Amino acid sequence: MTRTLRVLPLAIAGLLMAASPAAAHAELVSVEPAADEELEAPPDTVVLVFSGELDAEASSFVVTDADGVEVGRGGVDLEVAERSEMRGAVEIDGPGTYTVEWSVVAADGHAAEGAYAFVVAGEGGEPAAAPDTALPAPATSPLQLLGLILLGGAAATLRRTGMANR
């Protein structure tokens, strides 16, 4: 019975870490145009692909030029069965740096947002400098943190009880 009580916290911590809801979150997988891509001609459409289903009513993106003027927007593509893609038309008239700002809510309720930029080259083929952009790193979920705390507490308890039994 005592051994079961010692192993139980470790088993619970392991389950919490393995069954983390973070695995169900929709993460950004790919974008078109790509982040920091230099295009010779303006795109007609912007596409963002995520790893899971998105809430169509709560997910969208907007594309702006260097002055912050909106040149396009988009939402969840309802033609895609998985509801994991956002798509929208853009009207880009000239060269410059364009920013795509997105905000999504996954089917599991997890919200995420981010931004990236792409560049359309000018007549001479010289694009404006693109800002340094990166996809956001996934955050540690509260449930994962709780699992780590339980695991540490269980290890400390096992160590103490093991020393006391010697």
Indicate the pairing of strand 60-64 with strand 96-105: antiparallel
**Which structure tokens are listed for 117?**
């930029």
- CATH number for the domain including 35? 2.60.40.1220
Helices (H), the chain: 2-18, 142-164
Claim to verify: residue 56 and residue 111 sit in the same structural domain: yes
Give dist(CA 138, CA 27) in Å, integer.
Answer: 8
At 32 the three-state DSSP class reads strand
13 and 154 in contact (C-beta within 8 Å)? yes
Claim to verify: residue 32 and residue 15 sit in the same structural domain: no
At 106 the three-state DSSP class reads strand
Claim to verify: residue 6 and residue 62 sit in the same structural domain: no
Claim to verify: residue 110 and residue 157 sit in the same structural domain: no
DSSP state of 139: P
Q: Which residue has the tokens 């920091």?
A: 36
10-19, 35-44, 52-61, 96-105: least confident range = 10-19
The predicted-structure confidence for 125-157, as pLDDT tens digits, reads as follows: 444 444 455 555 455 555 565 666 766 676 666
Claim to verify: residue 112 and residue 156 sit in the same structural domain: no
Claim to verify: residue 66 and residue 129 sit in the same structural domain: yes
Give dist(CA 35, CA 33) in Å, integer.
Answer: 7
pTM: 0.63
Claim to verify: residue 75 and residue 44 sit in the same structural domain: yes
Claim to verify: residue 44 and residue 125 sit in the same structural domain: yes
Give dist(CA 31, CA 28) in Å, integer.
Answer: 8
Range of the domain at 158: 1-20+141-166
**pLDDT grade, residue 3 (50/70/90)?**
low
Number of compact structural domains in the chain: 2
Give dist(CA 95, CA 41) in Å, integer.
Answer: 9
Claim to verify: residue 64 and residue 119 sit in the same structural domain: yes
Indicate the pairing of strand 45-50 with strand 96-105: unpaired
Claim to verify: residue 133 and residue 146 sit in the same structural domain: no
Claim to verify: residue 9 and residue 39 sit in the same structural domain: no
Q: What share of the chain has pLDDT > 70, as a percent? A: 60
**Which structure tokens are listed for 118?**
């792409």
